[in-house]
Structure 1
Amino acid sequence: MLRQALLPIMGTILIGLLVLSAARFLIVFDLVLGNDQGLIIVARLLAAFVPHYLAFMLPLALYWGSYTTVRQLTVSSEVNILQATGSSVGRTFRALVVLGVVFAAINVAVVGWLQPMGRYTYRALAYKLENADFYLRVRDSTFMNVGPRTIFVEKINPDRHSFQKILIYEPLDKGGSMTIAAPRGNITKLGERLSLRLYDGQRLLIENGAEPDNVQSLNFDVIDVPVGNAVAPFRPRGEDEQELLMPELLAQNTALADASVADISSNAHKRLVIALSCLFLPLMAVALGVQSARKKNIYQSIIALLIVIIYHQLVEFAGDVGKELAIGPAALLWFTYGVFFATSVVLFYKTTTGIGTLPDRLSAALSRWGPAGDPLARLRGKPQTP
């Protein structure tokens, strides 16, 4: 059973990571273009983002792999054969429940430790590339932002350290601005800072935007414009709640620069609710996967896939709405989790102890309320038109 389930689970994880990493590759490729160690840096950036994707892919892969395994065994009548030998449905798929516990533990480690550390590592690498490697990111005839400045370089020399026809624009206080134009320049290092050294150019300064005609013009032979810090470290980890480890996140009771206490609470409990969904997803997969061996219901597969998407969207909705309510995001998130968990347990119990597929058992339950309560019975009893 485990061998049959692990193959689609690992395949789903691999395909998902490849697709999501391909989208991220387009973003990070622009950061490292021209760098001598471009491939190595791209690999480090993508590896730092893998835990973020893995946190979502683990529950999805577990659920879809369990569902397809159960569906394949029931359609091929292998479940009926096992039942004929005295093995119950619950015992047959007990390994999937154990696998859910293992995946839940792994995913808690991913969202609680690997994901925040990976996010901080990604941002630190991106910061270094954006600030220390200005000359690697510059493009011919392209405007680019370096801090508050906008820089335009018409031509880059083959050494990528010297340029021709440079224009720099920097907004100042009171609506003023400074514009520097030079026919040539090159990258220099002054102490810990990278500077763009310009030659034989002109600087135009407007100190007050209310007086645009008051322009100060200066012709210079050489001028240095800072464009990055070569060795300055990235900010400490933890200024963003997404970079906090799970123990730090749960213990954080004061607001951060860009996150309120409600935002921090929502982030912490949302991580746990997504990670611990692995506990009930195999139960739901078994309940939906067991079906008649004589008929294939494609709609049941579509519904099975939609359940994970609906659950994820409800968790996001509960986290956002809970921040505006007096009960807080934690209560609403765990209520959503509890509803899905209890529903999965009931459906799993009915599947392993009841008779027939899930639609048949739902129809039998509705029939207890009489013919008016069972729309499926009315549909089956309706005569077919020739």
Structure 2
Amino acid sequence: MLRQCLVPIVATILIGLLVLSAARFLIIFDLVLGNDQGLLIVARMLGAFIPHYLAFMLPLALYIGSYMAARQLTVRSEVNILQAAGSSIGRSFRALIVLGLVFACINVAVVGWLQPLGRYAYRALTYRLENADFFLRVRDSTFMNIGNRTIFVEKVNSDRHSFQKIMIYEPRDNGGEMTILAPRGSISRLGERLSLRLYDGQRLLVENGADPDNVQMMNFGVLDVPVGGVTEPFRPRGDDEQELLLPELLAQSTPLADATVRDVASATHKRLVIALSCLFLPMLAVALGVQSTRRKNIYQAIIALLIIIIYHQLVEFVGDFGKTMAAGPALLLWIVYCAFFVMSVVLFYKTTTGIGTLADRFSTWLDSLLPNFGTIAPPGNRPQTP
């Protein structure tokens, strides 16, 4: 049972991580392009973001794995064989319930500790890259901002320390502005700071925006423009509720810089409700996966997919809607959780006691509404009229 369940679980997690990491990889790659340790930084940043994806991939993978295991056992009539040998359906799928308990513990650790620490590490690395030295961020024919300056470089040479056709624009006080044009330049170090050394260029200066015709023009042979240096350390962890550990979230009773107390409560209980959904998802998957072997149920996969989507959307909606209510988001979130938990237990009990599977009962009801929907034969297999 566990072997049949673990294979789709592992496959779902790996495929999900690869798909979700693809878009994040493009963002990270643009940040680290030109860095001497680019691959190492990419690996660190993707590793820091993996717990964020695992937080919702673990329940989904458990649900899909349990559903596929239950469906395969019933389609192959193995459940009937186990029942004939004296083993009930509930006992056959007891291992999935234990697996759900294990996944719930793992997911609480992921959302409570690994996810906030990973998010903070990702933001710290992003801050370091965004404030990195000029030559690590510059791109061909791209405008970039350094402080209040806008810099444009038409071509970056292969050594990435020298450039061709450079323009620098800097707004000044009183509406004035300064523009520097140079055919070439290179990186030089002045003490602890980096400077862009420009050669054979021209500087245009407007001291006062009220008198734009008063332009001062100066030709220069060499001009140094500061473009980097020692950056301040990244802020301490905890300014955002997404960076707080689970015990810190539960103890947080004051608003944060960008979050109210209700925002913190909503974030806390959303994490717990999603993580602890692993406790009832195997029961729900079994109730949906066990089907009659006498007929092919075309509604089964649709029902299974819709229920997990509805649960996730309800959690998101109730968490946001609860912020505006006097009861708060926590009460509404746990009401939704308890409703799905009780529903899963009832459906699992009815399915495993032989009263009839949920999918078959629902299929019978749909067949009464759409009598010809499940009996449409492919064009090549239609019976011929005598």
TM-score, normalised on structure 2?
A: 0.88
What are the Cα deviations for residues 170-211 of structure 1, in whole angstroms up to 9, with x where unaligned?
345665544332232222334443332334434444465555
Residue 337 (structure 1) shift: 1.4
CA contact (8 A) 1:355 1:361 kept: no
Q: What's the CA shift for 1:250? A: 1.9
Aligned to 1:187: 187
1:251 Cα deviation from its structure 2 partner: 1.7
State the AA in 2 paired with 1:338: C
| CA spacing shift, 1:343–1:27, aligned 2, 3 Å | same
Q: How does 1:186-225 map to 2 (within 5 A)?
A: 186-206=186-206, 209=209, 212-213=212-213, 215-225=215-225
The within-5 A match list for 1:263-278 is 263-278=263-278
Farther-moved stretch of structure 1 (288-297 vs 34-43): 34-43
- Relative distance call for 1:176 and 1:91 in structure 2 (3 A) is farther
* 2:133/2:227 contact within 8 Å kept: no
Q: Hey, what's the Cα distance between the residues in 2 that align with 1:275 and 1:329?
A: 17
Indicate if the aligned counterparts of 1:132 and 1:194 stay in contact, CA closer than 8 A. Answer: no
Q: CA 1:42 to 1:359, structure 2 compared with 1: closer, same or farther past 3 Å?
A: closer
Aligned equivalents of 1:226 and 1:257: distance in 2?
Answer: 32
The answer to whether 1:247 aligns with 2:241 is no
Distance 1:16 1:204, change over 3 A: same
| Counterpart for residue 2 of structure 2 | 2
Q: 1:327 to 1:160 in 2, by over 3 A?
A: same
| Maintained 8 Å contact 2:131/2:231 | no
Q: Deviations over 1:235-263 (max 9, x none)?
A: 22112221111111222222222222222
Q: How many angstroms apart in 1 are the aligned matches of 2:275 and 2:296?
A: 32
Where do residues 1-386 of structure 1 align in structure 2 (5 Å cutoff)?
A: 1-172=1-172, 175-206=175-206, 209=209, 212-213=212-213, 215-230=215-230, 232-361=232-361
Instruction: Name the CA distance, whole Å, in 1 between partners of 2:113 and 2:177.
Output: 45
Say whether the 8 Å CA contact 1:192–1:231 is kept in structure 2: no
Whether the 8 Å CA contact 2:199–2:223 is kept in 1: the answer is: yes
* Separation in structure 2 between the aligned mates of residue 203 and residue 4 of structure 1, nearest angstrom: 72
1:27, distance to aligned residue in structure 2 (A): 1.2
* Root mean square deviation, CA, Å: 2.5
- Partner AA of 1:313 in structure 2: Q
Pair 274,183 (structure 1): closer, same or farther in 2 beyond 3 Å: same
Are the structure 2 counterparts of residues 159 and 290 from structure 1 closer, same or farther at C-alpha, using a change threshold of 3 Å? same
Contact residue 188 and residue 197 of structure 2 kept, 8 A: yes
Matched to 2:324, the amino acid is E
Partner of 1:367: none
Query: Cα distance 1:328–1:79, how it changes in 2: closer, same or farther (>3 A)?
Result: same
In the superposition, relative to structure 1, how do residues 214 and 378 fare at CA in structure 2: closer, same or farther (>3 Å)? closer
For residues 116 and 369 of structure 2, what CA distance do their matches in structure 1 show? 54
| SS at structure 1 position matched to 2:183 | strand
- Paired AA for residue 162 in structure 2: S
| 1:192 and 1:232 in contact (8 A); partners too | no
314-323 or 100-109, which moves further after superposition? 314-323
Q: Bigger shift: 81-90 or 148-157?
A: 148-157
| Aligned equivalents of 1:275, 1:233: Cα separation in 2 | 33
Range moving further from structure 2, 1-10 or 227-236: 227-236
More displaced 10-residue stretch of structure 1: 17-26 or 132-141 = 132-141
For 1:296 and 1:205, how far apart are their aligned partners in 2?
Answer: 79
Contact 1:195 1:224 in 2 (8 A): yes
Contact 1:64 1:305 in 2 (8 A): no
CA gap of 1:253–1:196, structure 2 versus 1, over 3 A, is farther
Q: 2:217 & 2:258 partners in 1: Cα distance?
A: 41
Q: Call closer, same or farther: CA 1:180–1:244 in 2, change over 3 Å.
A: farther
| DSSP 3-state at the match of 2:299 | helix
SS in 2 for 1:112: helix
Q: Which runs of 5 or more residues in structure 2 are unaligned? A: 376-384
Q: Give the residue type in structure 2 aligned to 1:285.
A: A
* Alpha carbons of structure 1 residues 378 and 155: separation in structure 2 relative to 1, 3 Å: closer
Q: Please give the secondary structure, in 1, of the residue aligned with 2:151.
A: strand
Alpha-carbon contact 1:203-1:218 (below 8 Å) kept: yes
Q: Percent identity?
A: 77
Per the alignment, in what secondary structure is the counterpart of residue 324 of structure 2? coil
Code of the aligned partner of 1:237: R
Partner amino acid for 1:291?
Q
Cα pair distance change 1:220/1:271, threshold 3 Å: farther
Q: What is the alpha-carbon distance in structure 2 between the residues aligned to residue 44 and residue 224 of structure 1?
A: 35
Q: 8 Å contact 2:178–2:206 — kept in the other structure?
A: yes
Q: Residue 370 of structure 1 aligns with which residue? A: none
| Distance 1:52-1:208 versus aligned 2 partners, 3 A rule | farther
Q: Aligned with 2:168: secondary structure?
A: strand
Residue type matched to 1:228 in 2?
G
Map Cα deviations across residues 314-345 of structure 1 (whole Å, 9 max, x no partner): 11111111122222221222222122111111
